[in-house]
Amino acid sequence: MKKIIFITITALFLQLTLSLDVAHSETKTKKGKAKISSIKQSITIRYLKAPFEPNIEKIPVPFAGHDIETVYKAFDERKKAEQKDEFESTDQYKQRLSSLSEKPLFASVRQDSILAFVVSPTVTYDADSQMLTINLKTSPVWQSVQIDRSKLGLEIKTGEIRKENSIGQNAYGAKIEIEKLYSKEYELAIHNQSNFETEKVLEEYEKKSQQRMAEMRSKYNLPSGPFDDAYGKEAFVQRLKLLPTEARVVKDNVSALIVVKPTSPYITYGAILGEATFKDPNAFFSQMYYVDIDLLEIWLYNKKSGEILIKIKGKTNA
């Protein structure tokens, strides 16, 4: 009997792993294709070149905040410049570091400046409860090829994307066309995420997988397993009580401003590789370039009027 239960649990785990992997791959592929089409549009964006002023009462319109790619590259250049040259004496090195610390990273932005990044949240409305729900989904932070669970990632910008097509073959000689998607993503690595409340939010495919798992456990009278927490992503969630007429305007125009301060080590790197299968012939290689920060506040605002709807503050700065 124990052997049968073990086999059943193993089958459940395999089903969970496969469903999540396939769905994640499909999500990544579709997401990448949509971004390819958007990147092709030639749009000039005027990013902020000075530190963000957190005491403003209204957001300028239009407003793009800082460019995370520029911030990342500036920190990268600073790290390279801070390396000691073999022909440089210790005194010369210390003097150069002191001089370097006085210089801005770019324009008038310094290493300890307050920065602000614009992101588009997910917004839903329930007419029965008259509740507008705004959430910003986070993702795991990858340190090289391993997850760093002490931080939360927040995607800000997708950089270079390219596709490659090839023919794959299995051990039996069967062939299939494989599409490989390569992408670069620029994200914030939030160090002080525990200062802000988050909720676990599930995608539709995760809700369906979770429901199937619950049905199988009920059918075979199995206890909950160690992989139940594999579903969903942590998200910053804000709910607003609004009448339908008000909610319609807010939903169509709400944006989020992530107000932060850089923290050591300032930049990190991670990567995810998704292999293709015959069931899902889509592979991907995603590179994540992180700017390490402490989150100060999240501002929800009307991107057309600049009106600030609410400021979400952490425990230490509430």
**214 in a domain, yes or no?**
yes
**What type of residue is 192?**
N
DSSP annotation string for 119-135: EPPEEEEETTTTEEEEE
Q: Which residues lie below 8 Å from residue 49, measured CB to CB, with a gap of 6+?
A: 106, 107, 108, 109
- pLDDT for 201 equals 81
Do the beta carbons of residue 133 and residue 126 sit within 8 Å?
Answer: yes
**135 in a domain, yes or no?**
yes
**305 in a domain, yes or no?**
yes
**217 in a domain, yes or no?**
yes
Give the pTM: 0.76
For the chain, what is the domain count?
1
Among 295, 274, 52, 302, residue whose Cα is nearest residue 187: 295
Q: Which domain holds residue 32?
A: 2-313
**120 in a domain, yes or no?**
yes
**318 in a domain, yes or no?**
no
- pLDDT for 228 equals 58
**123 in a domain, yes or no?**
yes
**125 in a domain, yes or no?**
yes
- pLDDT for 14 equals 39
Summarised one tens digit per residue, pLDDT across range 149-203 is 899 999 999 877 778 777 766 666 677 777 888 889 999 999 999 999 999 887 6
**Percent composition of the chain: helix, strand, coil (DSSP 3-state, to 5):** 30, 40, 30
- Walk along the chain (318 residues) in steps of 10 and give the mean pLDDT of each run: 42 42 44 46 80 96 96 96 93 93 94 97 95 94 88 90 73 73 92 92 68 74 62 85 94 96 96 78 86 98 96 81
